[in-house]
């Protein structure tokens, strides 16, 4: 699949797969100087890139597991979505969940981007839903005997 990408800054790096079978590409920070994210604060880190996805696809911005596990750094919105009609700069809203300041360096890999297909739904209002074994059990209800 080919996707159009535009460098908004000369220093911007294309998202890259780090291994042959990686499902997501690493996104690098396109910043001129280090950005410090204080404990329990957030910052929008620019990528210096804009993309044009085809209809029916989205780019999901996800945490890098190493940053999350070692430093408590993750996207503030869980998983961010880049819609196919968005043409602005891709940014990553990073949240520092730790009690220590974290410094984002220029060129640092700060998140992952996965391109996924999605379906549009058409809601069909009904009087009753079909029955399932689970029913309306939620929030910790599975696995109970």
Taking only the tens place, the pLDDT of each residue in 7-34 is 999 999 999 999 999 999 999 999 999 9
pTM: predicted TM-score of the whole model, two decimal places: 0.87
Choose between 145 and 4: higher pLDDT.
4
Buried b (16+ CB within 10 A) or exposed e, 112-142: bbebeeeeeeeeeeeeeeeeeeeeeeeeeee
């Amino acid at each position: 699949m080919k996707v159009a990408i535009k460098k908004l800054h000369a220093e911007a790096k294309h998202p890259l797969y780090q291994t042959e079978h990686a499902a997501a590409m690493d996104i690098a920070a396109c910043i001129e100087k280090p950005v410090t994210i204080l404990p329990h604060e957030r910052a929008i880190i620019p990528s210096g890139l804009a993309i044009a996805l085809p209809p029916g696809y989205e780019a999901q911005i996800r945490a890098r597991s190493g940053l999350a596990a070692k430093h408590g750094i993750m996207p503030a919105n869980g998983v961010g979505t880049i819609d196919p009609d968005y043409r602005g700069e891709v940014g990553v809203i990073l949240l520092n969940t730790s009690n220590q300041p974290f410094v984002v360096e220029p060129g640092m890999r700060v998140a992952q981007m996965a391109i996924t297909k999605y379906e549009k739904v058409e809601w069909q209002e009904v009087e009753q839903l079909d029955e399932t074994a689970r029913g309306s059990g939620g929030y910790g209800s599975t696995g109970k005997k």
